[in-house]
Amino acid sequence: MQKPALHQFAVRGGGVAMSDGQRITAREVGQSPDQPQGRVAVVLIHGIGDQHPMNTLRDFINGLYPSKRGETRVFSKPDRISDVLDLRRMAAGPAVTGNSTDFYELYWAHLMQGSTLAHVGDWFFVLLLRWPWQVPHRLLKFWVAGWILLLGSAITAVFYALQGNVPEALLSSGVVGLILYVTRGLSRKLALGYLADAARYLRPAPENIGVRQDIRNAGLEVLRKLHDEQRQRYDRIVVVGHSLGSVIAYDILTHLWQEMHWIHSKPSEPNQAYFSKMRRHIAESQWVVSKIDQFRVLQRELLKEEQSFGLSWKVTDFITIGSPLTYADYLLADRKYPIEKREHDRELPTCPPQLDDQRDIGYLDNRYRLPDGYWSTKETSKKLLHHAALFACTRWTNIYFKSDIIGGKTNPLFGAGIQDIPLDGDTIGGRLVLAHTRYWNSDEPRYCAAIREAMNLAEPSMKTPPVYRRSG
C-alpha cells in the first residue's frame, strides 16, 4: 500500500484523519489508547543562591526519574517559552511519567543583581523589631542570637571608640587576624550569595520593588505562554516551588488567577453543581476541612466545571517544598497589617478560599457577555469565583522535612485544605542545613516518591479523548 502524501492528512478535534476516508488509529499516530491523553507542563522554580540555569531542573529530574544503565529517559529539547536562552525543555514520555510531560525551569537568579550588605542589614533589622511573642517558636533562638550579635557589636564598637584605636595586639595577631578574615569572607558570601535574595524579595522596600516586579513578570509570562492553547495545548500545568521559589510561585499564581479568573465566554445553562458543593463544603466546614481527600476531589471537579464555562485556567496543582511560607505571618506581614487581615481582605489567597462577604466563594449572579454580543440574563447568569479563590480549583500540597528549619506546615496559616506532608529526616542525621537541599537528592527513594505522588503526572486527562473520524 502506497503511503499517503502529507497533504492528505487532516486534524479533526485533536485526532487525525485521511482525505480518502481511511481511518488512522491512535496507535498508528504514536498515541497509545491505553495511556491517558493530554500533555502536562511542570514548572520548577528554584530557591536562593548562585543558581546556574538548568542545574536545579536536571537534579530534580535525575532524582525523581533516575536513568538505568545509562539509558536516556528524559530528553533535552529547545525551550521556546522562556526568554533565557540558556534554558531547555526536558521532555519525558508516558513510559516515564505516565503522560507526555515537559519540564521547565523558571530561572530568576540573574534578575537578583546588585545586592549589597545594606539590603541584608535592613531586612535583618526589620525582622528583629518584633516582640518575642510575635516570633515563630522555631525561629526564636535565631531572633535571640541576632539581638546578642547586634548588642555585642554595639558594645564592642563603643569599647574601641573609648580606647581611641584598635589594640595593637589584635592587629598583630596572625591567628586572630586570620580568624577575622575568614569569618568576614564567609559571612559576606552567606549574606550576598543567599540571604540577599530573601531580603530583597521578601521586603517590599522601594529599592526592592523593581526586582520583585521583574521576577514576577518573568513568571507570569511563562505561565501565560503555557496557557496558550494555540501554541502549547497543555492539558495540565503543575507548578513546583522550592524554598524561596515557593513564595515566588505563590505570588505568580495569585496574580495570574486575578488576571484570568473572570474570563467566561461560552453560553451555557448555569448548572453549577460543583460550585454549589464547594460552597456548602466550605460553609459547613467552618475552616476545618475534615476530609481533605473529598475537598481535593471537589477542587478537580470544580475546575473541570469552570473550564466547561470558558475558564482557561490549567494549573491543577501547586507544590511547595521546604517552603518559608510556614513563617508567612513573620515574613509577609507586620504588626500593622497582620496576615489575618491580609487574608480577610483577600490579598493573600487561602485554601479553601475565604467566603465572599462571609457568604460565598463567588460573586453572585454575575452577568457576562455572550459570543453573539448580547449579555446574559438573570436566569442564565453564573456565579464567578472571586479574585482570591485560586485554591477553589488548584490543589496545594506542601512537603517538608521535620528537620528543615526553613520549611514546615502551611495549613495553620493558609487553610486546612492544604495537604501538608512531613518527611522524617532522621536518616540523614537531622542536619538542619543539608536537609533543606536534599528533597530530591536523598538516598531515600521515599522522599522522591512523595514529590512524584504530589505531582501525579499520570492523572487522567481533563479533556475529552481525541476522536478519529473519517474526513468529508
pLDDT, tens digit (0-9, with 9 covering 90-100), for 274-319? 988 998 888 887 666 667 888 999 999 999 998 888 888 999 999 9
* pTM, 2 dp: 0.79
Taking residues 27-48, report their average pLDDT: 66
Distances (CA, A) of 78 to 75, 110, 215, 278: 10, 20, 22, 40
At 267, the pLDDT band (50, 70, 90 cuts) reads low
Instruction: For residues 318 and 206, give the distance between their C-alpha atoms in angstroms, rounded to a whole number.
Output: 29
Q: Which of 151-155, 189-193, 199-203 has the lowest mean pLDDT?
A: 189-193
Nearest to 323 by CA among 398, 419, 428, 413: 398
- Give the model confidence (pLDDT) of 144-154 as tens digits: 666 566 665 55
Does the pLDDT value for residue 175 go beyond 60? no
Q: How many CB atoms lie within 10 A of CB 461?
A: 16
pLDDT score at 124: 66
Residue 221 reports pLDDT greater than 90: yes
Do the beta carbons of residue 196 and residue 120 sit within 8 Å?
Answer: yes
CA atoms of 368 and 22, how far apart (whole Å): 43
The Cβ-side half-sphere exposure at 84, using a 13 Å CA radius, reads 20
Helix extents (H) in 90-229: 94-97, 117-128, 140-163, 168-172, 174-190, 196-202, 206-227
What Cα–Cα distance (Å) separates residue 299 from each residue in 144, 305, 306, 315, 457? 42, 10, 10, 11, 17
- The pLDDT-based confidence of 29 (bands split at 50, 70, 90) is very low
- Burial group, residue 151, by CB count within 10 angstroms (0-12, 13-18, 19+): exposed
Render pLDDT for 54-71 as a digit per residue (tens, 0 to 9): 999 999 999 999 887 778
pLDDT range class, residue 195, cuts 50, 70, 90:
confident
How far, in Å, CA of 99 to CA of 280, rounded?
34
Considering only CA atoms, give the Rg of the chain. 26
pLDDT at residue 170 in the model: 42
Exposed e or buried b for every residue in 355-388, given b needs 16+ CB within 10 A?
bbeeebbbbeeeebebeeeeebeeeebbbbbbbb
Residue 126 has a pLDDT of 67
- Name the residue with higher pLDDT: 196 or 390: 390
Say what the pLDDT of residue 89 is. Answer: 96
Do the strands 9-12 and 15-18 form a parallel or antiparallel pair, or are they unpaired? antiparallel
Which helix (H) or strand (E) covers residue 320, if one does?
strand 315-321
Give 31's pLDDT tier (boundaries 50, 70, 90): very low
Query: Can you give the pLDDT at residue 74?
Result: 93
